[in-house]
Amino acid sequence: MRTVRLRINGQSVMREVPDNRLLIDLLRYDVGLTGTKEGCSVGVCGACTVLMDGQPVSSCLTLAVMANGAEVLTIEGLAEGERLHPLQRAFIESGGFQCGICTPGQIMAAKALLDVNPQPSKEEIQTWMMGNLCRCTGYYKIIEAIQAAATEKVGP
């Protein structure tokens, strides 16, 4: 067991975890943040994407001990109280989701993109989002949602 200290969505968290505890399990089961979804369990689908120190990571591949000292942002940390983040609003308004399993990971990956490139082209969005798979939407509405959020100047 190791002590892990990190900030999740701006809150200090300390937990005792086994060395092999995955970040997704820490988030979902130890901290109770169930917005992050597990899709493939092998880091291919992007459903479990969270931001660790501003970088998108697959939480199903990241050991919790690797997040020691890090700032982790999950889908729950985007909204400010009842006020949705522009990406969350854009996904709703553009219909950028269907079943919802991939949506938190899609939104977190899109946030990372807009943080480094606030006005991406359609091609830049497509390239950046390649690591986030969706079986339902066909991606058109996801791209539209990210473009709509970018017009709100969503960067850092």
Q: Is 77 left (phi over 0), alpha (psi -120 to 50) or beta?
A: alpha
Per-residue pLDDT of the chain (156 residues; tens, 9 = 90+): 999 999 999 999 999 999 999 999 999 999 999 999 999 999 999 999 999 999 999 999 999 999 999 999 999 999 999 999 999 999 999 998 888 899 999 999 999 999 999 999 999 999 999 999 988 877 889 999 999 999 875 544
Q: Please say whether the structural domain 2-77 has been given the CATH code 3.20.19.10.
A: no
Q: Where are the beta strands (DSSP E) in 1-120?
A: 2-8, 11-17, 49-52, 55-58, 71-73
Q: 80 pairs with which residues across the strands?
A: 83
Domain-wise residue ranges, the chain: 2-77, 86-150
Q: Please say whether the structural domain 86-150 has been given the CATH code 1.10.150.120.
A: yes
Taking a C-beta distance cutoff of 8 angstroms, is the pair 145, 91 a contact? yes
pTM of the model: 0.94
Q: How far apart are the first and last CA of the chain?
A: 35
Rg for the chain, CA atoms, rounded: 15
Question: Which run of H or E residues covers position 11?
Answer: strand 11-17
